[in-house]
Amino acid sequence: MEIAGHLQTTAEIIDEINELKRERGAVILVHNYQLEEVQRVGDILGDSLGLSREAARTDAHVIVFCGVHFMAETAKILSPEKTVLLPVKHAGCPMADMVEPEALSALKARHPDAVVITYVNSTAETKAVADYCCTSANAQQIVDSLPRDQKIIFAPDMNLGAWVTRHRPENVILWPGYCPVHHRMTVAEVEAKRREYPGAPFMVHPEAPMEVLLTADAVESTGGMVKYVKTLPENSTLIVGTEAGMISRLKMERPDIHYVLASHDTVCANMKLTRLTHVRDALRHMRHEIVVPGEIADRARRSIERMLATP
Ligand code: 13P
Ligand code: SF4
């Protein structure tokens, strides 16, 4: 038996990615939950807000988006003249698929006095219905910028929506969507970790349920988590309530910290689909190109631009 062709080593794959990147005039944007091997070839690592900002301002002709579909789609809407590639075509976000845009439109029509805020984890069609788009990094600021008595429809994440409207829950309609990874986190799991690591702070993503968020020392987007760990004392322990891949990202920032996952079951399978070979193949074959119909993109862009205008 013989192996046809040459099996590339990791170093050779990385070399090819860097060469193709130069040839194509590409930038590689990588979400904080991606596998460490992919994070290592990223030009920019970040959360949804940071990567959207980068997609809007980059001079590169080609954006390789290592994340899930809604992230690459948002980049395409912001930079329609650029080629945006998603290395794994079917890397999606189940929460984004929990909204039927027609049903959200119908809800909006029944509440004409409401402002519709959609979390960035949503499809372009859903964003096209929205007045505002937000990420977990600026949802609170967007809600706080609205008059106290403003009626709000928040979709699709009911946990994030409940969290950012907790001081004004009246006049708020939450879409019953959730992130399957964060939604299953429980207070009992967090309490067990707190007993095991007394004194360790607990940091969590706002996609977790309200009762878990209320027990936290810090509620942060993934970008906020990177900033938070920079403030911790040397060699301390931190309990982390988010997608498991975040640990390798945090280790890049603060390798001295002892990170403990709050829950044993927090792997986002979609975020783990992209491997180095997919990034190489995306650049080799210029695949998989994101296309958003012009009329939907134009409507979605208004809400996304409001998101980018909010710190
Ligand atoms: P961030 O915007 O905090 O990076 O979160 C994206 C996400 O999908 C969380 O599950
Ligand atoms: Fe979607 Fe949750 Fe995965 Fe984030 S972690 S991409 S919200 S399924």
Distance between CA 130 and CA 118 in Å, rounded? 6
Q: Which domain holds residue 219?
A: 181-261
Residues 6+ apart with CB under 8 A from 99: 118, 122, 123, 126, 155, 156, 175, 177
Answer whether 0.85 is exceeded by the pTM: yes
Q: Which atom of ligand 2 is nearest to the CA of 96?
A: 1
Residues 6+ apart with CB under 8 A from 134: 117, 118, 119, 120, 142, 307, 310
Ligand nearest to the CA of 178: 2
- What's the structural domain count of the chain? 3
Statement to judge: residues 112 and 149 lie in one domain = yes
CATH number of the domain bearing residue 118: 3.40.50.10800
Determine contact, residues 124/77, Cβ cutoff 8 Å. yes
Statement to judge: residues 111 and 37 lie in one domain = no
Q: Within the chain, which residues score under 70 in pLDDT?
A: none
Statement to judge: residues 170 and 303 lie in one domain = yes
Task: Convert 209-239 to b/e letters by CB count within 10 Å (16 or more is b).
Answer: beebbeebebbbbbbbbbebbeebeeeebbb
How much distance in Å is there from the Cα of 176 to the middle of ligand 2?
A: 15
pLDDT at 301: 97
In a domain, 266, yes or no: no
Q: Which atom of ligand 2 is nearest to the CA of 67?
A: 6
Statement to judge: residues 8 and 34 lie in one domain = yes
How much distance in Å is there from the Cα of 113 to the middle of ligand 2?
A: 30
Q: Is 121 in the pocket of ligand 2 (CB under 6 A)?
A: yes
For 239-268, the pLDDT digits (tens) are 999 999 999 999 999 999 999 999 988 999
For 5-50, the pLDDT digits (tens) are 788 999 999 999 999 999 999 999 999 999 999 999 999 999 999 9
C-alpha separations of 4 from 1, 7, 185 in Å: 9, 9, 47
Distance between CA 142 and CA 133 in Å, rounded? 9
How much distance in Å is there from the Cα of 32 to the middle of ligand 1?
A: 8
Dihedrals phi, psi of 203, to nearest 5 degrees = -115, 135
Q: Nearest residue CA, atom 3 of ligand 2?
A: 268
- For the CA atoms of 112, 114, 118, 124, what is the dihedral angle to 10 degrees? 20
Statement to judge: residues 141 and 285 lie in one domain = no
Distance between CA 83 and CA 75 in Å, rounded? 10
Statement to judge: residues 145 and 196 lie in one domain = no
Using most ligand atoms within 8 A of CB, pick from 49, 121, 184, 205 the residue to mutate for ligand 2: 121
Ligand nearest to the CA of 180: 2
What the block records as the tokens of 307 is 């998101």
Statement to judge: residues 79 and 23 lie in one domain = yes
Residues 6+ apart with CB under 8 A from 15: none
How much distance in Å is there from the Cα of 227 to the middle of ligand 1?
A: 15
Statement to judge: residues 242 and 162 lie in one domain = no
pLDDT at 43: 98
